[in-house]
Chains A and B, each alone.
Chain A
Amino acid sequence: MVEPILEIQGVRKTYPARRSLFGRSAAVDALKGVSLAVTPGESFGLVGESGSGKTTLTRSILRLEAPTAGRILFKGEDMARLGPKALRTLRARIQIVFQDPYASLNPRMTVEEIVSEPMLVHRDILRLDRAGRRDRAAELLALVGLSTQHLARNPHEFSGGQRQRIGIARALAAGPELLLLDEPTSALDVSVQAQVLNLLIDLQDRLGLTYLFISHDLAVVRYLCDRVALIHSGVLVEEGPTREIFDAPQSDYARMLLGAAPKVRVPPATPSG
């Protein structure tokens, strides 16, 4: 078996109890020992309801939060052991596309500034001068289906789908290997959803990216992902190839989730499955 690009080993995250004027809130176990492995080049789907720990897991992978216990390995390297410099280097290799394209772009920056920021932050790795950054920003926009005339505009001049494309361009700017997709289409119209999904599939083919796709939308996961894991209140319930899980779910939770999904006619052959 190939060495996994991302390996999560028994990760727990407990938010401690908080005392306030109005009494105590109980400690929350957001993740209760989650283990999974993502192999290079695949699309791994992580499916769960709201509050199941999906977001905590992404924040832990990005090292925006430190897990209480367990290890997260990127290409065999323990992320908790990295020094500040190595961590910064690593952040060029793992990037994220956020759910809400209306909130994830700084309204004060132009599209060019947004897309070139990762190149500026990682200029010691990418070694791009001003003109080089500008060229690459234009390239990236073309890659996600926007044009160079959009560079000087502010985010509020774009539609949701276009903004999500800008968010994807930003995530690609530093040349990452692993892309976390945190429900990238759930804030978009259905027609735009399909466009963005197809863009993601296309980008994966062209750039050889690995996707960790987080969603609660089973139809989208089935369309895009090679393997799926179901997460429920901080515990992985089931994991396996997409087709197996959808055709022959093993756990009650998986059956419940599949049963609860609205019946949408899905094309019989999934292109990536």
Chain B
Amino acid sequence: MSKLADPIAATAAGPVRREKLARALFRFRQSRLSLLGAAIVALVLFFALLGSVLAPYPDDVRGSVSTAARFLAPSAAHPFGTNEVGQDVLSLTMAGTTVSVLAGFGVVIIGSLLGTLVGAVAGFAGGLVDEALMRFTDLVLTIPSLILAMAIAAALGPGFENMVLAISLSWWPGYARLVRGEVLAAREEVYVTAARAIGASPARVLFRHILPNCLSPIIVKMSLDMGFAILTVAGLGFIGIGVRPPTPEWGTLLSTARSYMPDYWWTAMAPGMAMFLAVFGFNLLGDGLRDVLDPRGRR
């Protein structure tokens, strides 16, 4: 067998992983829609990182006011016009990407981690633990999420972190229920029995065999939720809880624009379009990711 050992030793972990990545990329490239989604998300992320730097009127982002230039219609100087205090709407929207996308990410990541933990433990342990955890989940689900987020945000006080935390705490039950169901199904798979027969520890069975096979619905839900989370963040901004002015945020921008709506329509258009684009892009990307992450599910 020694002659077999040599080529193996030469094949370090690197090439194998690279080959896997190359296959995944190839699969991803076969769908134009997911490429479009990836492009939109890349654009959104680009603005989230550099929006306030690249904004054509950085002073406006910091809160400067020029009443002489208020409600200018879209033009070459102001592609999306100016608002009620003469700030460039394009600059505000670009800078607002940061808050919206970061908050969306925060909500989805905290919510999915929390929910996955609760659901996985409930489904894997079963019995009394399952009952207790799931009844608590149901309890949280009965409370309307926006109201709960509002209550938590009001209790914790306004601010970016509190807003993210507030939305996350109303966000996890969906993941808990999804993951519990997936774990219950995966627990009965033969390869799980095989792992137990090998002598694998419960933690190894759960994290190596069960959870990886529950991943694709979680990823898909995360990508769909990313859009909804951005919308919820904007919703909280719209009703005045969340980040405080002068920090630009899409929801707050829309909320102010609403009062001038039919006449000065351009004040609402840029933040609205940005939100639409971000939600659309994340949804397309999520579908593409599912095709890559779940080799069996591809057509």
Contacts and interface: CB of A to CB of B under 8 A. Distances in A.
B4 A138 contact: yes
The range of chain B's interface size is 20 to 34
Nearest 8 CB-CB pairings of A with B: A91-B199, A103-B190, A108-B212, A106-B191, A104-B190, A88-B199, A152-B16, A135-B5
Contacts of B199: 87-88, 91-92, 118, 121-122
A231 to B, nearest CB: 21
A226 B191 CA distance: 30
A112 B20 CA distance: 13
Contact of A95 (B197, B201, B204): B197
Contacts of A64: 193, 196-197
Interface in A108-162: 108, 110, 112, 117-118, 121-122, 131, 134-135, 138-139, 142, 148, 151-152, 154, 156
B200 A107 contact: no
A117 B16 CA distance: 17
A107 B194 contact: no
A5 interface: no
B255 interface: no
Interface string B205-241: 0001100110100000000000000000000000000
B8 to A, nearest CB: 5
Contacts of B16: 110, 112, 151-152
A170 interface: yes
A135 B213 contact: no
B296 interface: yes
Interface string A153-188: 010100000000001001000100000000000000
A121 B200 contact: yes
B198 A121 contact: yes
B197 A91 contact: yes
Contacts of B208: 117
A98 B190 contact: yes
7 contacts: A98-B194, A104-B191, A106-B213, A108-B213, A110-B16, A118-B198, A156-B296
A100 interface: yes
B295 A156 contact: yes
Nearest to A140: B1
A221 interface: no
Nearest to A59: B193
A138 B8 contact: yes
B197 A96 contact: yes
Q: Which of A138, A170, A174 has the most CB of B within 10 A?
A: A138
A62 interface: yes
A96 B200 CA distance: 14
Contacts of B195: 106, 117
Interface in A82-106: 87-88, 91-92, 95-96, 98, 100, 103-106
B190 A107 contact: no
Contacts of B9: 131, 134-135
Given A64-B197, A98-B194, 20 more contacts: A64-B193, A91-B197, A91-B199, A95-B198, A96-B194, A96-B197, A103-B190, A103-B191, A104-B191, A104-B193, A106-B213, A107-B295, A117-B200, A121-B198, A135-B8, A135-B9, A139-B5, A142-B4, A170-B198, A174-B198
A148 B198 contact: no
Contacts of A88: 199
Given A135-B8, A148-B4, A148-B7, A104 B295 contact: no
B138 interface: no
B131 interface: no
Contacts of B20: 152
Given A88-B199, A138-B4, A139-B1, A104 B296 contact: no
B189 interface: yes
A108 B191 CA distance: 11
B19 interface: yes
Nearest to B200: A121
A19 B5 CA distance: 57
A38 B277 CA distance: 68
A72 to B, nearest CB: 14
A88 B11 CA distance: 32
Given A148-B8, A156-B295, A105 B191 contact: yes
Interface in B154-199: 189-191, 193-199
A244 to B, nearest CB: 32
B44 to A, nearest CB: 30
Contacts of B190: 98, 100, 103-104
B197 A134 contact: no
